[in-house]
Amino acid sequence: MAKFPKYPHHRLSTGERAADLISSFAGSWTFLFLFFFFLFSWMLLNIFALLSSWDPYPFILLNLILSTLAAVQAPVILMSQNRSAQRDRLHAKYDYDVNRKAEREIQNMQRDLDEIKKLIKNL
């Protein structure tokens, strides 16, 4: 039986590694808290600016930044999910191979057990 195939990290492109890194960070609580802190800070600084605000309400520049972030983040997350699906296929194939081997071994043991029963019965 072959050993479980490790996912070939050494063959990942720089873009694939970056996609995994960005996806793991963008899906974390740390990112969520930092992102909300950034949004609230941006809005508060622009609402309560004493002299001049760089992005007055309705925050068009912030909207542009958020749209750009969403446009970049979505394909990166999809790339990471595709790689995850590829790893899952490797796991499923390995599980299938292990289960087939176990089934063959059980069938062989059942045959042996049937032969032993016949021998004992004939004694």
Q: Is residue 99 part of a domain?
A: yes
pLDDT of 29 > 90? The answer is yes
- Count CA within 13 A, CB hemisphere, residue 35: 12
State pTM to two decimals.
0.65
Domain assignment present for 3? no
Q: For 70-94, what is each residue's pLDDT tens digit?
A: 999 999 999 989 988 988 999 999 9
Residue 81 domain-assigned (yes or no): yes
Residue 19 falls within a domain, yes or no? yes
Helical ranges in the chain per DSSP H: 14-26, 29-47, 60-122
**Which structural domain range is residue 53 located in?**
14-122
Number of domains the chain contains: 1
Q: What integer pLDDT is reported at residue 92 of this predicted model?
A: 95
Task: Give me 33's structure tokens.
Answer: 């808290």
23: in domain: yes
98 within a domain of the structure (yes/no): yes
Position 2 in a domain: no
Terminal-residue alpha carbon distance, the chain: 38
Q: For the chain, what is the mean pLDDT?
A: 90
Quote the pLDDT of residue 4: 66
Eight-state DSSP code of residue 39? H
74's tokens = 């979505």
